[in-house]
Amino acid sequence: MIRFLLLFSRQGKLRLQKWFTPMTEREKKKITRDMTTMVLSRQPRSCNFLHWKDLKIIYKRYASLYFCLAIENGENELIALEVIHRYVELLDKYFGNVCELDIIFNFEKAYFILDEFLMGGEIQETSKQMVNRSIEASDMLQETMEEYMSKPAF
């Protein structure tokens, strides 16, 4: 099971955080700090897997963003790496050539996609189309003529 997913920049700024088990705010902050320190200090050509307490941390860097995933001990590390990759592919398909700015300024959309893709710490094996379609359907639905006529809030 996946315990948490964090996205942060090369300077350690948090861009996205998703926790799949209940945690106090203090614990979350500490974990975020630990993760950023650990991952940012890794050499470029080293293994993408780390040990931390009783969990395994899988991380991967895409351009200026680090994706960091924590899995429980019995899980397969390589598949977790592919989970990260799949998420990036989904983001890419949705935003069209995604970059860090897309995720920074539209983080709630990144969350919506994540929620369709991972639920309760497990991946939902749906086709790529399915995830995109459900996001688009939700996006589309809300554009009633009324909203179209008036100015968007943001």
Question: For residue 71, with 0-12 CB atoms within 10 Å meaning exposed, 13-18 middle and 19 or more buried, which class applies?
Answer: buried
Pairwise CA distance, residues 58 & 149, whole Å: 46
β-pair partners for 14: 8
* Residue 45 binds other proteins (CB under 8 A): yes
CB of 10 to other proteins, least distance (A): 13
Interface pick for other proteins out of 41, 43, 44, 73 (rule CB under 8 A): 43
Interface pick for other proteins out of 10, 63, 72, 128 (rule CB under 8 A): 128
* Residue 119 binds other proteins (CB under 8 A): yes
* Residue 86 binds other proteins (CB under 8 A): yes
* Residue 44 binds other proteins (CB under 8 A): no
* Touching other proteins, residues 89-118 (CB under 8 A): 93-96, 102, 104-109, 111-112, 115-116
The closest alpha carbon to 87, from 54, 121, 113, belongs to 113
Q: Count CB neighbours of 117 within 10 A.
A: 20
* Residue 48 binds other proteins (CB under 8 A): yes
3-class secondary structure, 147: helix
